[in-house]
A and B are shown apart, each in its own frame.
Chain A
Amino acid sequence: MRDMVRWFLLFILSFMLIGGKWAFAADVGAMLKAMTDPAGAPFYPITMQVLQVLTWMLHILFVYTSIGGLFFTIYGFTKKEERWQRLAKATLELSKVSVSLAIVLGVAPLLFYQVIYDPLWYTSANLSAWWYILFIVFLLVGYYLIWGAYFTKNKPSMSMLMSILGVLFLLLVGFIIHVVNYQALYPEKWVEWYTDGGRTMNVSGWNIYAFNVFRYLSFLVFPSIAVTGVFLMLYNWYFRSREDMDKDYLDWAGKVGARSAVYAGIGWLVSHILYILTIPADWGAKGSIFTWLSVLGLVLLAGVVFSSQKNPVKMAIPSLLAGSVALLLIAIFREYLRIASTARFGYSIYDYKLNLEFLSPLLFLGTLLTGLVLYAYAWWMAYQAGKTPKGKVYEASETEHHLGELSVFIVVLWAVVFIGVGLIIVVRNYT
């Protein structure tokens, strides 16, 4: 009899647990669904998802070289040695250009993310609204400090001070975006956070509700050093063919990069695993193939840079490839976390309401093809100019001139089509 009562109570308890969770999940699920934009997605969500992953990867690459570049600059300026001073200036230049690229490349993943994960993005940003605005302010201040460091690069102590302040601001910016992305993964807590357990509405926008130090270290701090390390190996590889460059310095810089990449790569791997251990069990993330692929990617990168120690030049391109694979797998893992987090509440981006439309994707495709021709020409010319010794002018070959003409032609063609279509529509609709 006692056993029966015990089993009966256990049954009730488990029913309450499961039933309670179901009921709760249904609530959060309904909220997420209600938050999706009524206009629906103008194209298949999977396309947005793939583009988001790929463009985030490009964006984060330059985030890493922005922050990592400054780490090297600061360290370099603390050394008296001439080659360290020289390296500090080179990485400062890298950081300065990288911030611009990180900003411009960061627009795309955010765009695609907002179309399929609007409930996550808008809610999390609004929970910490002032911080979200301060992201812009801190980035602006940080970037001007980096320019300040660049203009004072011949006064190392001043330049170092500005670099230190600059990197602190960039890390703060990274902290804010980390918080916003991390809070987004916990929809079950949003209402509780915002209403302080039902007692108020936190309309001030000053609250920060969640932070995970391992995620911050593994997504931002360690990779910054590791990726910039690989960049230094490429720096060695790219400039060594230029006759006016000091080969010894370049070889040394490559070695510094390779060594830093190994140490930071190990830190990256460890913090990544520690982060994985903090993911709640009900996400099922620890047993997922995507989780382990991301770990494998980091092991691959650490392995390749470890074997590059003796000859960084030879291994520069393989390291770049290994780094790209690792970054892609991390980007996929990061996206998988969103799927795992929202799947708990029955939310799937693949169920997003569709309002299919083909003209604007066509516009994007046409613009992208135009852009690719232009990028190819411009970047190729920049690559050639960089290979040319100082004081000399690079004369384009006939093929390069043809590519130049093609890029001007295709850009003009794009503008003509864009304006032409507009004229036709305006005449059709308004006359």
Chain B
Amino acid sequence: MDVLGFYPMWYVPVVGSATIIGIIASLHVLASHTSVGASILLAYLATKAYRENQPQIYDYIKKYLLTLLVFSYVSGSITGPGIWFSATVANPRGISALIHNFVWVWAAEWVWFVAEVTLVYILFYTLGRIDQKSWLRLAWTFAIGSWATMYIIVGILSFMLSPGHEKWFTTGSILDAFYNKNYFPHLLSRTAYMFAIAGVIGLGIAALMKKDLPEKIYKDIVKTLSYWGIGGIVFGLMFFAWYVSTLPERSLVMLEGVVPLYLKVSIMLTILIVLTYFFLTAIRPQVARFWISLPIFILIFFLGVFPEEKIRETIRKPYVAGEFVWVNQIVSRDVPAKGIESEVPVIDQKGLLTVNAFVPEGLKKIDSQNEIMAGKAIAILQCSGCHNVTGSTGLRPFGQKFAGMTDPNVVYGFLAGYLRDNPPPYMPKFVGTDEELRALSAYIAHMISNGGSVSAKIEVPNTSAEAKKEVQP
């Protein structure tokens, strides 16, 4: 058997498997940024409480810690591995490439992850039960440890977009891969924004406790959070501009030409709303309300974090890891340092269906009986990372992209000219034999002829000799 290392393919009709990753990742970003930001804010407030001898601040800290435990540490610690889980099934070879390069780095992050989770519980249970100095030390190690998880993951995220430097392909050095040129602006921009996110939650908690806290303490807490929030947004914008300037050329092209305007506008609008809220609470702390903070927090998720994740995914294309694994999981270039070879020539020569062990024998040799199904299999294997290949709605749907194209020859002409010979910067080129491209064209024309929507089920025709051989005992 002559196979490449492909895994069974998972296909999610309409929205695509990438959206599943997007939803889980956005939840995680919101929860983790809240907790990292809050860890530093709380350590600062605890220091203030200790220095200025204001024990009531500890009551606020205790409430915030409980909120963190219930929200951030439940959803954050589950959705963190959740991103990994969803990437495993949506893009196994992409996540595998990252894990095989960064396993020790991830293991180092895990050390901090354990520290963070155990410390948040310890801080919560020991507040008021051990002396203040000791508690303060725990609070600061918790803050730095939480932040350290961000130091580490940002390097891996940067590498997903690009190794940054051509050097990595020949040195294979973990340092060259990790400390990308956009590492520091990326880290600083996330760091700044996380104070704003944690600040919004913090204002809501303070508002709930208003009647239990002396007025001076209440105002002190709200003003502190507001200043940190304003600073977070102002610095976040500055660092973000720096981050954009370090992006690779292809990402800039996509950011300007491919990323829809409404995604950028919605992020800017969110930033504006949050900034206004912080300004108002800084001037008049009474303005802070739970019922304002909560909707703003939800707004941050839908109009800020989710679009940000979508943009990040878009500007990474056509790759999913390190500019050598395409979004359709085909290894597209050599990495001499690691002995990795491009799979494109082999697939072009032998055919995508032939080299994938999980394609039934009855579809590997294309004939008039199985052509449509073979084409559908190719569409799912090669295109479904970014497209809804069986319908007219949802993720960049084939039904719309090929509307009106009911003649297989017309589709073939378009695909050969556009996708095989001259692919755009954001899409992988079509790989496979000419026979396979014809099968894909036949499937697309068939699908459009059937109203632009077909079932995702693949049926191997009984007439196929190979299929019969497989089915019969």
- Chain A residues near B362 (CB, 8 Å)? 198-199
Q: Are B134 and A415 interface neighbours, CB within 8 A? A: no
What string of 1s and 0s marks CB contacts (under 8 Å) between B88-116 and chain A? 11101100110111111111101111110
Q: Please report B residues at the A interface, Cβ cutoff 8 Å.
A: 1, 3-12, 17, 20, 24, 70, 73-75, 77-82, 84-86, 88-90, 92-93, 96-97, 99-108, 110-115, 117-119, 121-122, 125-126, 128-131, 133-134, 137-138, 140-141, 144-145, 147-148, 151, 164-165, 167, 172-176, 178-179, 181, 183-184, 331, 335, 337-341, 357-362, 377, 380, 456-460, 466-467, 469-471
What string of 1s and 0s marks CB contacts (under 8 Å) between A170-207 and chain B? 00000000000000000000110011011111111100
- Chain B residues near A111 (CB, 8 Å)? 99, 103, 106-107, 110
Q: Are B8 and A419 interface neighbours, CB within 8 A? A: no
Q: Decide yes or no whether A210 CB sits under 8 A from chain B.
A: no
Shortest beta-carbon distance, A245 to chain B, in Å?
15
What string of 1s and 0s marks CB contacts (under 8 Å) between A377-413 and chain B? 1110110111010001111100011001101100110
Q: Are B77 and A104 interface neighbours, CB within 8 A? A: yes
Shortest beta-carbon distance, B124 to chain A, in Å?
10
What string of 1s and 0s marks CB contacts (under 8 Å) between A133-148 and chain B? 1011001100110010
A34-B5, A100-B121, A425-B176 in contact; A40/B78 too (CB < 8 A)? Answer: no
Q: Are B8 and A194 interface neighbours, CB within 8 A? A: yes
- Chain B residues near A112 (CB, 8 Å)? 103, 107
CA distance A40 to B110 in the complex (A): 22
Q: Decide yes or no whether A27 CB sits under 8 A from chain B.
A: yes
- Chain A residues near B179 (CB, 8 Å)? 421-422, 425-426, 429
Of all chain A residues, which has the CB nearest B98? A39
Shortest beta-carbon distance, A259 to chain B, in Å?
29
Shortest beta-carbon distance, A34 to chain B, in Å?
4
Shortest beta-carbon distance, A404 to chain B, in Å?
4
CA distance A197 to B147 in the complex (A): 50
Q: Are A41 and B100 interface neighbours, CB within 8 A? A: yes
A-B contact pairs, 24 of them (CB 8 A): A30-B3, A36-B5, A39-B101, A42-B103, A100-B74, A104-B77, A104-B113, A114-B103, A118-B100, A119-B5, A126-B89, A129-B17, A133-B86, A191-B358, A198-B460, A200-B360, A200-B460, A203-B456, A359-B175, A385-B125, A385-B126, A394-B129, A394-B131, A401-B133
Q: Decide yes or no whether A31 CB sits under 8 A from chain B.
A: yes
- Chain A residues near B97 (CB, 8 Å)? 37, 39
Partner of A382, one of B78, B108, B122: B122
Other contacts beyond A103-B81, A195-B460, A374-B141: 7, CB < 8 A: A97-B121, A121-B88, A125-B89, A194-B8, A198-B460, A375-B118, A429-B179
- Chain A residues near B148 (CB, 8 Å)? 411, 414-415, 418
CA distance A66 to B20 in the complex (A): 28
Q: Are B89 and A133 interface neighbours, CB within 8 A? A: yes
Q: Are B119 and A378 interface neighbours, CB within 8 A? A: yes
- Chain B residues near A129 (CB, 8 Å)? 10, 17, 89-90
Shortest beta-carbon distance, B200 to chain A, in Å?
22
Q: Are A405 and B137 interface neighbours, CB within 8 A? A: yes
- Chain A residues near B457 (CB, 8 Å)? 200
CA distance A200 to B370 in the complex (A): 12
Number of A-B contacts (CB under 8 A): 334
- Chain A residues near B340 (CB, 8 Å)? 38-39
User: A342-380: which residues lie under 8 A (CB-CB) from chain B?
Assistant: 353, 355, 357, 359-361, 363-364, 366-368, 370-371, 374-375, 377-379
Shortest beta-carbon distance, B66 to chain A, in Å?
10
CA distance A76 to B276 in the complex (A): 51
Partner of B74, one of A122, A147, A377: A147
CA distance A425 to B177 in the complex (A): 10
CA distance A110 to B99 in the complex (A): 11
Q: Are A371 and B111 interface neighbours, CB within 8 A? A: yes
Q: Are B459 and A199 interface neighbours, CB within 8 A? A: yes
CA distance A359 to B108 in the complex (A): 12
Q: Decide yes or no whether A17 CB sits under 8 A from chain B.
A: no
Partner of A361, one of B17, B89, B104, B359: B104
CA distance A127 to B111 in the complex (A): 31
Q: Are A101 and B117 interface neighbours, CB within 8 A? A: yes
A199-B460, A404-B137 in contact; A371/B114 too (CB < 8 A)? Answer: yes
Q: Are B105 and A360 interface neighbours, CB within 8 A? A: yes
- Chain B residues near A43 (CB, 8 Å)? 103-104
Q: Are B338 and A205 interface neighbours, CB within 8 A? A: no
What string of 1s and 0s marks CB contacts (under 8 Å) between A50-70 and chain B? 010000000000000000000
Leading 7 A-B pairs by shortest Cβ distance: A198-B470, A360-B104, A129-B10, A371-B111, A129-B89, A367-B108, A136-B82
CA distance A203 to B335 in the complex (A): 31
- Chain A residues near B456 (CB, 8 Å)? 203-204
- Chain A residues near B466 (CB, 8 Å)? 198
Q: Decide yes or no whether A226 CB sits under 8 A from chain B.
A: no
Q: Are A393 and B113 interface neighbours, CB within 8 A? A: no
CA distance A130 to B11 in the complex (A): 10
Partner of B176, one of A30, A122, A419, A429: A429
Shortest beta-carbon distance, A378 to chain B, in Å?
5
- Chain A residues near B172 (CB, 8 Å)? 355, 357
Shortest beta-carbon distance, A358 to chain B, in Å?
9
CA distance A135 to B24 in the complex (A): 12
Shortest beta-carbon distance, B112 to chain A, in Å?
7
Q: Are B467 and A199 interface neighbours, CB within 8 A? A: yes
CA distance A199 to B380 in the complex (A): 16
Shortest beta-carbon distance, A356 to chain B, in Å?
10
A408-B137, A418-B151, A421-B179 in contact; A394/B361 too (CB < 8 A)? Answer: no
Shortest beta-carbon distance, B120 to chain A, in Å?
9
Q: Decide yes or no whether A337 CB sits under 8 A from chain B.
A: no
Q: Are A107 and B81 interface neighbours, CB within 8 A? A: yes
User: A18-50: which residues lie under 8 A (CB-CB) from chain B?
Assistant: 26-27, 30-31, 34-43, 48
A190-B8, A364-B104, A396-B133 in contact; A100/B77 too (CB < 8 A)? Answer: yes
CA distance A147 to B70 in the complex (A): 7
Q: Are A371 and B115 interface neighbours, CB within 8 A? A: yes
Q: Decide yes or no whether A108 CB sits under 8 A from chain B.
A: yes
Partner of B130, one of A101, A359, A396: A396
- Chain A residues near B113 (CB, 8 Å)? 104, 107
Q: Decide yes or no whether A115 CB sits under 8 A from chain B.
A: yes
Q: Are B112 and A195 interface neighbours, CB within 8 A? A: no
Q: Decide yes or no whether A106 CB sits under 8 A from chain B.
A: yes
Of all chain A residues, which has the CB nearest B174? A360
Q: Are B10 and A378 interface neighbours, CB within 8 A? A: no
- Chain A residues near B107 (CB, 8 Å)? 51, 108, 111-112, 364
Q: Decide yes or no whether A163 CB sits under 8 A from chain B.
A: no
A103-B77, A133-B20, A396-B131 in contact; A378/B122 too (CB < 8 A)? Answer: yes
CA distance A143 to B113 in the complex (A): 18
- Chain B residues near A220 (CB, 8 Å)? none
Of all chain A residues, which has the CB nearest B165? A429
CA distance A143 to B17 in the complex (A): 25
Q: Are A385 and B129 interface neighbours, CB within 8 A? A: yes
Q: Are A40 and B339 interface neighbours, CB within 8 A? A: yes
CA distance A201 to B20 in the complex (A): 21
CA distance A195 to B364 in the complex (A): 13
- Chain A residues near B70 (CB, 8 Å)? 147
Q: Decide yes or no whether A132 CB sits under 8 A from chain B.
A: yes
Of all chain B residues, which has the CB nearest A105? B114
Q: Are B74 and A195 interface neighbours, CB within 8 A? A: no
- Chain B residues near A425 (CB, 8 Å)? 175-176, 178-179
Shortest beta-carbon distance, B184 to chain A, in Å?
7
Q: Are B78 and A140 interface neighbours, CB within 8 A? A: yes
CA distance A167 to B122 in the complex (A): 25
Q: Are A363 and B105 interface neighbours, CB within 8 A? A: yes
Partner of B134, one of A105, A130, A375, A401: A401
CA distance A421 to B178 in the complex (A): 11
